[in-house]
Amino acid sequence: DVQLVESGGGSVQAGGSLRLACAASGSAASMACMTWFRRAPGKQREGVAAIYHSGWEPWYSEAVKGRFSISRDNAKNTVYLQMNSLQPEDTAMHYCAARAASCALTWARDDLYNYWGRGTQVTVS
């Protein structure tokens, strides 16, 4: 089993930055793909960024490409999401998710993830 705990959310002004962290425990080392999702009020959950266990070739949604950066510290079993140039449309609950299958082309499909954290709120005004 895998447990995921997100942290680092908060309230910032437009143009500001936040760094989210997802601490994994349990069988986290077996998780090939770690992904950040978000859900804004009244909208469906969407994939933001994903990363392989190796950290090689991360994926990003078009909405955050060039502004957000995902990284992974396997020694600490932690995945980070550095969010720069935040805009009000980035306001959402952000979730960490994990799966044993590779990220590949389906990384943004939330139905393919086995493990989820409870989320951390990001508010941009």
For 46, counting Cβ atoms within 10 Å of its Cβ (0-12 exposed, 13-18 middle, 19+ buried), the class is middle
Q: Each residue's pLDDT tens digit in the chain (125 positions)?
A: 899 999 999 999 999 999 999 999 987 778 889 999 999 999 999 999 999 888 778 999 999 999 999 999 988 999 999 999 999 999 999 999 999 988 888 999 999 999 999 999 999 99
Q: What pLDDT shows up at residue 74?
A: 86
Q: What's 28's DSSP letter?
A: G
Q: What pLDDT shows up at residue 31?
A: 86
Q: What pLDDT shows up at residue 113?
A: 96
Could you give the C-alpha distances from 108 to 12, 16, 83, 116, in angstroms and in order?
26, 25, 18, 14
